[in-house]
Amino acid sequence: MSKYDVIVLGSGPGGYVTAIRASQLGFKTAVIEKESLGGVCLNWGCIPTKALLKSAEVFNYLKHAEDYGLKVKEADKDFDAVVKRSRDVANGMSKGVQFLMKKNKIDVIEGFGKLLKGKKVEVAKDDQTTTYEADHIIVATGARSRELPNLPQDGEKVIGYRQAMTLKKQPKKMIVVGSGAIGVEFAHFYNAMGTEVTIVEYLPNLVPVEDIDVSKQFEKSFKKSGIKVMTNASVEKVDTSGNGVKATVKTKKGEEILDADIVLSAVGIKTNIENIGLEEVGIQVDKDKIQVNEWYQTNVPGYYAIGDVTPGQALAHVASAEGILCVEKIKGMKVEALDYGNIPGCTYASPEIASVGLTEKQAKEQGYEIKVGKFPFSASGKASASGKKDGFVKVIFDAKYGEWLGCHMIGAGVTDMIAEAVLGRKLETTGHEVLKAVHPHPTMSEAVMEATADAYDEVIHL
């Protein structure tokens, strides 16, 4: 029986990062993966979707070339080539993870891993099983597309995000159910490619976790781009017996039947915790999540869990941070528990959305007296020059001490800009310090300073 210091079950952005950090710290490390190194994020999520969205952005530029004083004759797309580019990008990244495993002398064990008692893992592949032992076993098996009982996925007419990335034929009409990050990113992509898209959201606003001002602006932008938006609505049933799909949508006005070629179900995720031995080992699970403490230890010594299978935010960068913290704690290093209140959230549709900290509503509900500032990109020189004037930056500060409570952005490139707010909040920056930190001109990032100036009644360009 092979013995390791650390075995990581799953090689997504949580698992492979955890394995690399463990190896850096001197642990003999192995990672178990049943499919492709890099997990869903790298192979079927974060990375390939961004490749699709980049193609959509370039296509939009071509279609609006005259806005920039350019002429392009009959701009068109090759849907198959767009999909192939996305897959090539993902495959290249997966090979990069393979290289990192070799570089860091991490053993990659292929197969389906199941936890056993006594700090062991059984790996099944091709009707054979092999057992491995480790002092520390870390579960990082991630999650998959969640299925609703009234919206079963057949992989052809009712699909999840995975099939949405590799459709052999572009649909003429698509219904997207759910307006979280996955739903709106695919809605934007297919709309940009020329598909007639309808998005159905159960709650009153699109991207409902965001600040209400962001949600309203986003819905306005989506409608302007030609996407049909149905909020306070739910898909009650689908009929796939014909050539396409007939979806019965319940709204406040009654039921409406929508015709489409494909329905994309984007109603959240389901953790991959079935059949991995949790019950046999006695690891505590609640509401589909493995229960862990602040160092990601389960209730059974020697077994840990990170990423989507735990109660924190289901985001790639969260999983990576949790894994690093977990193995550093195992090593005995002095570590600080992760601040889940300072995790940035990003949505890569057009316009992009990025946020961190409290929304205005949350800040008021928590009893803060606040200063709120907002700066529209329509007043930004860089945004005007770029032809990307939709959106704004909104900042929220505690009126008493100047604490940066929240930052909410919508517009071009804001997923890159949000890091300033994350770092500022980590360093306990005040509104006054943000205001007096000189921002370069002309840039989109100036809007952070200008929004802060607005909060303190010192705005110049508005």
- Concerning whether 408 is annotated as a catalytic residue, the answer is no
Question: How would you write the chain as a 3-class SS string?
Answer: CEEEEEEEECCCCCHHHHHHHHHHCCCCEEEEECCCCCHHHHHHCHHHHHHHHHHHHHHHHHHCHHHHCCCCCCCCCCHHHHHHHHHHHHHHHHHHHHHHHHHCCCEEEECEEEEECCCEEEEEECCEEEEEEEEEEEECCCEEECCECCECCCCCCEECHHHHCCCCCCCCEEEEECCCHHHHHHHHHHHHHCCEEEEECCCCCCCCCCCHHHHHHHHHHHHHCCCEEECCCEEEEEECCCCCEEEEEEECCEEEEEEECEEEECCCEEECCCCCCHHHHCCCEECCEECCCCCCECCCCCEEECHHHCCCCCCHHHHHHHHHHHHHHHHCCCCCCCCHHHCCEEECCCCEEEEEECCHHHHHHCCCCEEEEEEEHHHCHHHHHHCCCCCEEEEEEECCCCEEEEEEEEECCHHHHCHHHHHHHHCCCEHHHHHHCCCCCCCCCHHHHHHHHHHCCCCCCC
**Exactly one of 64, 432, 441, 461 is catalytic; which is it?**
441
Catalytic residues: 441
